[in-house]
Amino acid sequence: MAKHRSHLPVTPLSVIGELLITFGFTLLLFVVWQVFINDPVVGAKQEQQAQTYVQTQNAAENTKIFNEARDGIAQGKVFGKLYIPRFGGNYQRLIGQGTFQKITLNKIGPGHYISSQWPGEVGNFAVAAHRTSHGAPFFKIDTLQTGDLVFVQTNESWFEYEYRQTAIVKPTDVSVIRRVPPGLTGAHAGGSYMTMTSCNPKWSATERIVVWLELVKTLPTSLGTPDDLINLQSNE
């Protein structure tokens, strides 16, 4: 006589359990795809976009490379380029105006807080970027350390900022991008700072990671790429 297999009864709890397992597996696949496939691909495109931008925009003689860094330029307009050797020897990204995700952060990468100052100005030049997804331009923001330099290029000048401090704050803490950030040790009126912000921890928006830097050098673009940047890139 053939034996009949016994089956566990189907209950609402067992159905929910199977759905949760399926959801968890799907979520895991999405994370793997996002971190190991999509973000590197998009990040590489952003880096290539930054590398070729000058060549494309400078094709016509006497044409400005970027939009002028001034109040009133439209959201998403590119006004400069960001170099962070700590993130990799070839790391460079365009900087767009504004922090609207669909216009700037999701397409260009780093975006300028419109309420903050411009590169090199007295006060606080502040930018935001994704830490995960859409190329994750600030994926390594937590690796910056004492002595690290960050470079900003505009039409007229190169601005060299040096790392000062990292903080974790609530998303509602907008004081981090004030002209004189109260959380930055030693910050004072008349100083020129740069602030980089992103979500914290990775894959969450419950906090913000904040990196502060201070302007240490300004050079005209007519002199070419700063020696400090060339040396750091060659050492990577």
Q: With H, G, I as helix, E, B as strand and everything else as coil, classify residue 221.
A: helix
Which DSSP string corresponds to 157-202? Answer: EEEEEEEEEEEEE-TT-GGGGSSS-TTSTT--TT-EEEEEEEEEST
Q: What is the pLDDT of residues 106-132, one digit of tens each?
A: 999 999 999 999 999 999 999 999 999
Q: Which residue has the tokens 């070729």?
A: 52
- Say whether pLDDT at 5 is over 70: no
Q: Tell me, what's the pLDDT at 16?
A: 67
Specify the higher pLDDT residue, 22 or 81: 81
pLDDT above 50 for 32:
no
27: confidence class by pLDDT, cuts 50, 70, 90: very low
User: Taking Cα atoms as reference points, which of 167, 169, 131, 165 lies closest to residue 148?
Assistant: 165
Tell me the average pLDDT across 170-192: 97
Give the pLDDT confidence score for residue 52 in this predicted structure. Answer: 84
Closest CA to 199 of 209, 187, 213, 189: 209
pTM equals 0.81
Inform me whether the pLDDT recorded for 13 exceeds 70. no
**What pLDDT score was predicted for residue 60?**
53
Residue 190: count other Cβ atoms within 10 Å of its Cβ. Answer: 8
Question: Of the candidates 88, 100, 86, which has an alpha carbon nearest to the alpha carbon of residue 211?
Answer: 86
Per-residue model confidence (pLDDT) at position 46: 73
Distance CA 131, CA 201 (A): 9
pLDDT at position 40: 62
Domains and CATH numbers, the chain: 41-235 (2.40.260.10)
The mean-pLDDT minimum among 56-60, 91-95, 163-167, 202-206 falls in: 56-60
- pLDDT value at residue 47: 80
| pLDDT score at 114 | 97
Please say if the pLDDT value at position 83 is more than 80. yes
pLDDT of residue 56: 57
Is pLDDT above 50 for 25?
Answer: no
